């Protein structure tokens, strides 16, 4: 069988100590495969965000190991983890996805600049990414002059433009109305279908889950169920 893109083995994460300790993750084993379009569902406090943070190399587990494309994260320095996030992972958060002082195009170009992509190629790829998410013609707008749905589209473009191995989205539609949510999910599943981009999306929203091909359900820091359509 093909090697998994991401593997989680025996992941635990404990916040706090003694009486107050919270077991946010309590022994998670999970493989994400190339081309997955997975939703991570579960009640509030079940550990969705915590697990996404582990996969995204943003936080370290209390015990257990995460590997991305075969590389274990536990031994890597902060700077090396930054590098790994830059090269391999795209992030879409619920809010505060964008740098307010940069225009839509500059926000998308930002990651390419960090990757030392040359100016001409950068401009071309960023423009294409904005086009792809349906924001052609809005390149020079600042985020504050755009709607919540448009801002999330910029975030999608930004997450994709660096050609990451995996895109992690934590409640990407939480601030959006149902029409905009549908449009954004449509966009992401099209990118998954047509371009083979791997998505893991943490969400409460049944409308989001409806789009996914793999449903992972968490309860109390454990994986309760993991089903494919």
Ligand X SMILES: Nc1ncnc2c1ncn2[C@@H]1O[C@H](COP(=O)(O)OP(=O)(O)OP(=O)(O)O)[C@@H](O)[C@H]1O
Residue from 7, 39, 46, 49 that binds Mg ion (CB under 5 A)? Answer: 49
CB-CB contact of 116 with 96 (8 Å): no
Q: Which is nearer to ligand X, 35 or 45 (CB)?
A: 45
Where does residue 17 fall: left (phi above 0), alpha (psi -120 to 50 degrees), or beta otherwise? beta
**CB nearer ligand X, residue 161 or residue 176:** 176
What is the closest distance, in whole angstroms, from the C-beta atom of residue 113 to another protein in the complex? 5
Which of 1, 17, 18, 44 forms a contact with ligand X (CB under 6 A)?
44
Is residue 63 packed enough to be buried (19+ CB in 10 Å), middle (13-18) or exposed (0-12)?
middle
With binding defined as CB under 8 A, does residue 53 bind another protein? yes
Considering the rule CB under 8 A, would residue 136 count as an interface residue with another protein? Answer: no
**Which residues, 6+ apart, have CB-to-CB distance to 58 below 8 Å?**
85
Q: Judged by CB under 6 A, does residue 48 bind ligand X?
A: yes
Give the list of residues 6+ apart from residue 94 with CB closer than 8 angstroms, or none.
170, 171, 172, 174, 175
Does position 50 interact with Mg ion (CB under 5 A)? The reply is no
For another protein, which is the closer residue by CB, 17 or 78?
78
DSSP lists the bridge partners of residue 169 as 92, 201
69 near another protein (CB under 8 A):
no
Report the DSSP pairing between strands 166-170 and 63-68: unpaired
> For residues 1-40, which are near ligand X according to CB under 6 A?
15-16, 22, 24
* Among 199, 200, 164, 156, residue whose Cα is nearest residue 48: 200
Chain contacts with ligand X (rule: CB under 6 A): 15-16, 22, 24, 42, 44-50, 204
Chain contacts with another protein (rule: CB under 8 A): 49, 53, 56, 58-59, 78-79, 82-87, 89, 91, 93-102, 106, 109-111, 113-114, 116, 158, 170-171, 174
């Amino acid at each position: 069988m093909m090697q998994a893109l991401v593997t989680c083995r025996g992941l635990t994460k404990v916040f706090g100590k003694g009486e107050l300790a919270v077991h946010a993750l309590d022994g998670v084993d999970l493989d994400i495969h190339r081309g997955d379009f997975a939703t991570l569902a579960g009640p509030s406090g079940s550990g969705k965000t915590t697990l996404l943070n582990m996969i995204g190399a943003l936080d370290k587990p209390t015990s257990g190991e995460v590997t991305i494309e075969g590389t274990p994260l536990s031994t890597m320095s902060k700077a090396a983890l930054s590098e790994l996030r830059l090269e391999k992972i795209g992030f879409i958060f619920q809010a505060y996805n964008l740098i307010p002082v940069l225009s839509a195009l500059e926000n998308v170009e930002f990651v390419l600049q960090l990757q030392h992509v040359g100016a001409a190629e950068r401009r071309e790829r960023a423009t294409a990414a904005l086009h792809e998410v349906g924001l052609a013609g809005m390149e020079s707008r600042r985020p504050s002059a755009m709607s919540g749905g448009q801002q999330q589209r910029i975030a999608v473009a930004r997450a994709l433009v660096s050609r990451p191995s995996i895109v992690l989205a934590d409640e990407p539609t939480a601030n959006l109305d149902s029409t905009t949510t549908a449009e954004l999910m449509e966009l992401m599943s099209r990118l998954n279908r047509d371009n083979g981009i791997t998505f893991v999306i943490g969400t409460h929203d049944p409308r989001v889950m409806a789009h996914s091909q793999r449903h992972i359900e968490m309860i109390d820091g454990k994986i309760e169920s993991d089903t494919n359509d």
